[in-house]
């Protein structure tokens, strides 16, 4: 299967590390002019340089802006008026007992995990519609359908993304623009390793810590391991291509079987 995104412009929010960074690299490797995003100009510039060095053929730039705010989103719109592929990847997570989550924290998670993608999609979708082609993806999680006891606030925002994605897809019906959610499972990244260490302690060897986390905290996983970021990126790159033209309004699972449902 050959995926060719030459001539397409892609924007990936929250892409200076973790899954977002790997997605950006995958889109660029498929030929898309890819723009990464983070809040810090230093981190954006550093990652752009690293990705260009890793793949000299890649066309990669970056925009430093906090897209969880209207002002940050406006910065992106001014620098990048139109895109063909939008990956709403920005998200935050941290464990906290649900009875201790205050209003401010709930609102911060909503602004970062939900409203960042809503703003970006609302701005870029009309241009995609008018051009007759576009791809939008919201990065969700198995936590959207299996709410984690230790991160209810995170899970709820990911549930919201499933509805947001379906709604935008309906608005683009018959236009050649697809909108989907990607249900990612627990994925090996710097942030997840820190998260697991925080739950299980620093003293366990990493292999045992991963196995304990999957057994105790994600027992429904069918692969019994963390997912590699490249495995998530493979789905995202496919959905960004012409090959996925009949896939829209969906919630595509790359969750290692964590969600114990036939459908999301």
Q: Residue 54: what pLDDT?
A: 96
- The three-state secondary structure class of 141 is strand
Do 193 and 231 lie in one domain? The reply is no
The question of whether 154 is a catalytic residue gets the answer: yes
Structural contact between residues 188 and 85, judged by C-beta atoms closer than 8 angstroms: no
Do 150 and 90 lie in one domain? The reply is yes
- The three-state secondary structure class of 206 is helix
Domain that holds residue 37: 9-186+227-254
Query: Is 86 a domain residue?
Result: yes
Q: Which of 118, 80, 87, 63 is nearest to 5 (CA)?
A: 87
- Determine what percent of the chain is predicted with pLDDT higher than 90: 85
Q: Which tens digit of pLDDT belongs to each residue from 20-66?
A: 999 999 999 999 999 999 999 999 999 999 999 999 999 999 999 99
* Element (DSSP H or E) covering residue 10: strand 9-12
The active-site residue, picked from 93, 109, 124, 154, is: 154
Q: Residue 1: what pLDDT?
A: 83
Do 176 and 215 lie in one domain? The reply is no
Residue 187 DSSP symbol: B
Q: Which tens digit of pLDDT belongs to each residue from 106-161?
A: 999 999 999 999 999 999 999 999 999 999 999 999 999 999 999 999 999 999 99
Query: Is 259 a domain residue?
Result: no
Q: What total number of domains does the chain contain?
A: 2
């Amino acid at each position: 299967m050959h995926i060719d995104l030459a001539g397409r412009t892609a924007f990936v929010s929250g892409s200076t590390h973790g899954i977002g960074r790997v997605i950006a690299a995958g889109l660029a490797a498929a030929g898309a002019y890819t723009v990464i995003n983070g809040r810090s100009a230093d981190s954006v510039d550093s990652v752009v340089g690293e990705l260009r060095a890793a793949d000299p053929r890649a066309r990669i730039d970056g925009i430093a802006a906090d897209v969880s705010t209207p002002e940050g989103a406006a910065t992106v719109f001014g620098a990048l008026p139109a895109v063909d592929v939008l990956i709403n990847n920005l998200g935050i997570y941290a464990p906290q007992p649900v009875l201790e989550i205050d209003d401010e924290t709930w609102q911060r998670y909503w602004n970062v995990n939900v409203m960042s993608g809503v703003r970006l999609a609302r701005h870029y979708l009309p241009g995609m519609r008018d051009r007759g082609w576009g791809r939008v993806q919201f990065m969700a999680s198995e936590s959207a359908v299996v709410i984690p006891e230790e991160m209810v606030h995170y899970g709820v925002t990911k549930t919201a993304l499933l509805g947001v994605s379906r709604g935008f897809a309906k608005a683009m019906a018959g236009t050649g623009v697809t909108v989907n959610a990607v249900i990612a499972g627990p994925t090996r990244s710097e942030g997840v390793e820190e998260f697991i260490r925080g739950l299980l302690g620093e003293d366990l060897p990493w292999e045992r810590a991963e196995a304990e986390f999957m057994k105790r905290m994600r027992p429904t996983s069918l692969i019994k391991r963390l997912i590699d970021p490249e495995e998530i990126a493979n789905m995202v790159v496919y959905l960004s291509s012409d090959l996925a033209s009949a896939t829209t309004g969906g919630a595509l699972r790359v969750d290692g079987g964590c969600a114990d449902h036939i459908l999301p």
